[in-house]
Amino acid sequence: MTSKLIASSLRQQLAKSAHQFHRQLLSTAAAAAVPAPAEPQHHGDSTGIMMKGVKISGRPLYLDVQATSPVDPRVLDAMLPYYMSRFGNPHSRTHMYGWESDLAVENARAQVASLVGASPKEIVFTSGATESNNISIKGVMHFYKDKKKHVITTQTEHKCVLDSCRHLQQEGFDITYLPVGSDGIIDLEKLRSAIRPDTGLVSVMAVNNEIGVVQPVEEIGKICKEFNVPFHTDAAQALGKIPLDVEKWNVSLMSLSGHKIYGPKGVGALYLRRRPRIRVEPQMNGGGQERGIRSGTVPTPLVVGFGAACELAMKEMEYDDKRISALQERLLNGIREKLDGVVVNGSMERRYAGNLNLSFAYVEGESLLMGLKEVAVSSGSACTSASLEPSYVLRALGVDEDMAHTSIRFGIGRFTTEAEIDRAIDLTVHQVQKLREMSPLYEMVKEGINIKDIQWAQH
């Protein structure tokens, strides 16, 4: 009883203070409307923004396209009509609203299919690459569970693949996590010897999200064909960036994502081979849309945007690639010119140019990222960027703990400018030099002491 009383009075108090807070907010807004030069926040130009306790003078330059990419205006232009008058449910068979949406969805399906060299009938729209990966791994293994008990994947896969595998492991399936070399590439001989008679799936991502290395997908496909094992690849980071062909790669399943190729968030696709047919157990049951593999109303505007993004990617791939490669070279040379102890994580030869993952020796990664508030970069995957742990991908490469802690992933995309790259170089160099000046480790290295030989006292 007493506790109830206390709770209710507390609630009243809270409500009151919230009310006051609200009033205060209103009053400052009113004050700001009167020209007040001392007021920061609004009227951008020279004052800037305050967010999470950090003052930033303008919107940071964006170098994190592996996390997500901005929507291309041409994509948005294709989507907008389907947010307005063309709002029909594509599964409505009885009226024009449904028909026009259905037509748009089928057109988008063809656009996605042609970018990957597939038939439109082999494309299933999902909510994104995570869902596609879940359907691929859990769906295939559940469908063939009577005969197949073993999955092969790699240590550097995306979290959603690894987590799906862990889920299967708890159900009694056997998982092999293939190690990668120091360049991030898997050893094909190890893959070959890991395949067993009861292997039901091999899942290897095409382009790594953190370090950007391109796996030898074609060769993996050949090995899988030889042993007649279905091959799944997570191509979320590869789509629209490197030439992609389901026949050449011999994939049975492939996960695709919309928001990595300047399309909308919340849409992706799964490629499911028809010949030889691969079957999956659906993760979501319902109205039987997308041939029952992924029930739920297909979001027409998102799918139209994804289709437009794919068509655009096909047209622009060569142009974008040429430019992104030049910008990557400019960034790497610019940083290396002024700083020593910069290491590129992952293979430099087998890499998608838009991803440059660098480690800076003798600085602390978190301080570096905090100091780079005007550059939107991340230490690795956005999914794990909240934790202070070094990335598991870098650890799988055998990168030393201290170097793994200082990694920064620079993502270059279609809309990145030369000026942004130059600014990023300046800011990074400035920040690293500042941190190194403060670092006793760097001083010792300069004096010729090998820090690996130091016996640190234990407390």
Partner 1 sequence: MASSASAAAVRQSKAEVLSLLRSLLRTARQFPDYNIKAYTKRRTIDAFRHNQNLSDPSSVASALSDGKAQLEIARRQAIVYSLHAPNVRSIMEMNRELTC
For residues 272 to 291, the per-residue mask of contacts with partner 1, x marking binding by CB under 8 A and - elsewhere, is: --------------------
Q: Which of 61, 110, 284, 326 binds partner 1 (CB under 8 A)?
A: 61
Of residues 239, 372, 394, 404, which one binds partner 1 by CB under 8 A?
A: 372
Number of residues that bind partner 1 (CB under 8 A): 36
Whose Cβ is closer to partner 1: residue 76's or residue 445's? 76
Q: Output 204 or 324, the one with its CB closest to partner 1.
A: 324
Query: Shortest approach of partner 1 to residue 58 CB, angstroms?
Result: 3
Do residues 404 and 379 make contact, with C-beta atoms less than 8 angstroms apart?
no
Beta carbon nearer to partner 1, 90 or 305:
305
Q: Is 43 in the site for partner 1 (CB under 8 A)?
A: yes
Tell whether residue 32 is a contact of partner 1 (CB under 8 A).
no
Indicate whether 319 belongs to the interface with partner 1 (CB under 8 A): yes
**Nearer CB in complex with partner 1: 296/371:** 371
Question: How are strands ordered across the β-sheet holding 355-360?
Answer: 342-344, 355-360, 407-411
Which of these segments, 91-99, 148-156, 286-294, 366-374, binds partner 1 (CB under 8 A)?
A: 366-374
Instruction: Kindly report the backbone phi and psi dihedral angles of residue 113, in degrees, each rounded to the nearest multiple of 5, phi listed first.
Output: -60, -40
Which residue is listed with tokens 């920061």?
Answer: 40
Beta carbons of 67 and 382 less than 8 angstroms apart: yes
- Asked if residues 206 and 238 have their Cβ atoms less than 8 Å apart, the reply is yes
Nearer to partner 1, 182 or 433 (CB): 433
Stretch that binds partner 1, among 4-12, 226-234, 248-256, 365-373 (CB under 8 A): 365-373
Q: Return the structure tokens found at 9.
A: 């009075």
- Choose the stretch contacting partner 1; rule: CB under 8 A; options: 143-151, 164-172, 274-282, 367-375: 367-375
Residue 407's H or E segment, with its range, is: strand 407-411
Pairing of strands 355-360, 342-344: antiparallel
Instruction: Classify 54 as helix, strand or coil.
Output: strand
Q: What does the DSSP 8-state code read for residue 121?
A: G
- Collapse the DSSP code of 233 into the 3-class scheme (helix H, G, I; strand E, B; otherwise coil) and give the result: strand
CB of 73 to partner 1, least distance (A): 4
Q: Which of 10, 14, 36, 80 binds partner 1 (CB under 8 A)?
A: 80
Contact 123, 105 (CB under 8 A): no
- Find the part of the chain contacting partner 1 (CB under 8 A) among 202-210, 227-235, 371-379, 388-396: 371-379
Buried b (16+ CB within 10 A) or exposed e, 435-457: bbeebebbeebeeeeeeeeeeee
222 binds partner 1 (CB under 8 A): no
Residue appearing with tokens 């004096």: 447
Based on the shown chain and the rule CB under 8 A, indicate whether residue 74 belongs to the binding site for partner 1. yes
Q: Which residues are CB-neighbours of 64 under 8 A, at least 6 positions away?
A: 376, 377, 378, 382, 409, 411
Give yes or no for residue 437 binding partner 1 (CB under 8 A). Answer: no
- How many angstroms separate the CA atoms of 281 and 274, rounded? 15
Residue 432: what are its φ and ψ, rounded to 5°? Answer: -65, -40
Q: Given candidates 57, 285, 297, 333, which one binds partner 1 under the rule CB under 8 A?
A: 57
Residue from 22, 23, 42, 248 in contact with partner 1 (CB under 8 A): 42
Q: Which listed range, 4-12, 17-25, 76-84, 176-184, lies at the site for partner 1 (CB under 8 A)?
A: 76-84
Interface with partner 1 includes 73 (CB under 8 A)?
A: yes
The residue among 255, 256, 280, 252 whose CA lies nearest residue 141 is 280
Q: Which is nearer to partner 1, 113 or 425 (CB)?
A: 425
**Mask of contacts with partner 1, 124-163, x by CB under 8 A?**
----------------------------------------
Evaluated on CA atoms 425, 428, 430, 436, the torsion sign reads: negative
33 binds partner 1 (CB under 8 A): no
Work out whether 265 is an interface residue with partner 1 (CB under 8 A): no
Nearest alpha carbon to residue 358 among 387, 390, 380: 380
Question: Which residue out of 160, 165, 224, 383 is catalytically annotated?
Answer: 383
Compute CA distances 67 → 15, 191, 233, 317, whole Å. Answer: 38, 29, 19, 19
At residue 153, what are phi and psi to the nearest 5 degrees?
A: -140, -170
**Binding string, residues 394-433; x marks residues near partner 1 by CB under 8 A:** --------------------xxxx-xx--x--xx--xx--
Q: Which two tokens stand for residue 322?
A: 């040429």
Alpha-carbon distance of 459 to 457, in angstroms, equals 6
Which residue is associated with the tokens 């595998």? Answer: 165
Concerning whether 160 is annotated as a catalytic residue, the answer is no
- Contact between 111 and 310 under an 8 Å Cβ cutoff? The reply is yes
Which of 32, 39, 48, 190 is in the footprint of partner 1 by CB under 8 A?
A: 48
Residues identified as active-site: 383
Q: Which residues bind partner 1 (CB under 8 A)?
A: 42-46, 48-49, 56-62, 70, 73-74, 76-77, 80, 319, 371-374, 414-417, 419-420, 423, 426-427, 430-431
